[in-house]
Amino acid sequence: MNGFELVGQLPYGVSFASAVFTDKGLNIIGGFNDKGEQQHLLSPYPFTPSLEKWEEIKGFPSLNNAIAINDNIHTDSIVVVDSEGKIYRQREDDTWAWMGKTSSTEGSTIVSTGHRLYRIGGVFFDTYASDDVYCLEELIAVFKLPFPLAYISSVKIGKRVYLFGGERGSEKNNIPTDSVMSISIDANNKLETKVRKEEARMPFPVAGGGIVCLQQDKVTSVFYLGGWRGEYSATNIVRIDIKDTGIAGVRVVGKTPHNIPGFTVATILDGINMKNVNKQVYIIGGEQGGRKSADIWRISVSDLLAM
């Protein structure tokens, strides 16, 4: 279907989870699931093309709708933040260390500069969007976005962090936006406090999409997959081409294999311990109408770039 194929399933339905790669394999962490509790699933190396082997890792802290990232600061260290602001870092023995607490928001995005972790935006108590940019190590808001945003999709490219779409507004009036913004990373690998509004826009207002970032020649192509447009799911795939001089083009290039939002995107490129799995993009889980999906869809990087 549009280059996608259904290749396998998780042990149970999962939505709004995070995909994090470590030296152990692919981790699917947090979000929501059919079990009604937070989970930590691991697809260990070596991967198989259908990702059919999954282990449930015990000892995950008691969190609510957690998001996770490999911080790229400590060796293969996973950091999780939940909607109540609780922050934990995974130790080498797979136990979790308490880092502290920030303000309570859900629908945030986390970025790593290689020196600091930042939580950007989010929504307070399902009502007010946030404009805070929080440094997780310092446990303070270091600056603000030009306007409140939740469910932003972010990616670090070189010395800039790009922010795509998101829900803008307050008091139960959060609506998707077509904005594209970027933040520079300074010589100390910290985010600068000035947010640049890019002239390029998304083709339509959208929030909550998955991100795939691919390098080809001297162009970095960001693929924004799915998300939602107000009350309706978005099935479009938007390609944003970025050069050293800035954004070179934005266009719709295809469609996702289904109209279920809240899925997790994992991109597997060349690397060690990959058993017949190189250059693949996976769409994992999702949720619609309260039903959580366990489906795993796959498309090759070459097919995605050919769109």
* Residue 121: closest CA among 164, 78, 178: 164
Confidence check: pLDDT of 270 > 60: no
Instruction: Note the pLDDT tens digit of each residue in 204-229.
Output: 999 999 999 998 888 999 999 999 98
Q: What is the structure's pLDDT at 1?
A: 57
Q: What is the structure's pLDDT at 191?
A: 94
**Residue 115 in tokens:** 């020196």
Residue 303, H or E segment: helix 301-305
Q: What is the structure's pLDDT at 278?
A: 61
pLDDT, mean of residues 273-302: 81
**Residue 184 in tokens:** 């520079």
Confidence check: pLDDT of 39 > 90: no
Q: Does domain 5-305 have CATH number 1.10.1300.10?
A: no
Cis ω before 205 (30° cut-off from 0): no
Q: Report the mean per-residue pLDDT for the chain.
A: 87
CB of 286 closer than 8 Å to CB of 263: yes
Q: What is the structure's pLDDT at 126?
A: 64
Q: How far apart are CA 218 and CA 201, in angstroms?
A: 22
Confidence check: pLDDT of 172 > 70: no
Banded model confidence at residue 275, pLDDT cuts 50, 70, 90: very low
Instruction: Note the pLDDT tens digit of each residue in 7-34.
Output: 999 999 999 999 998 888 899 998 888 7
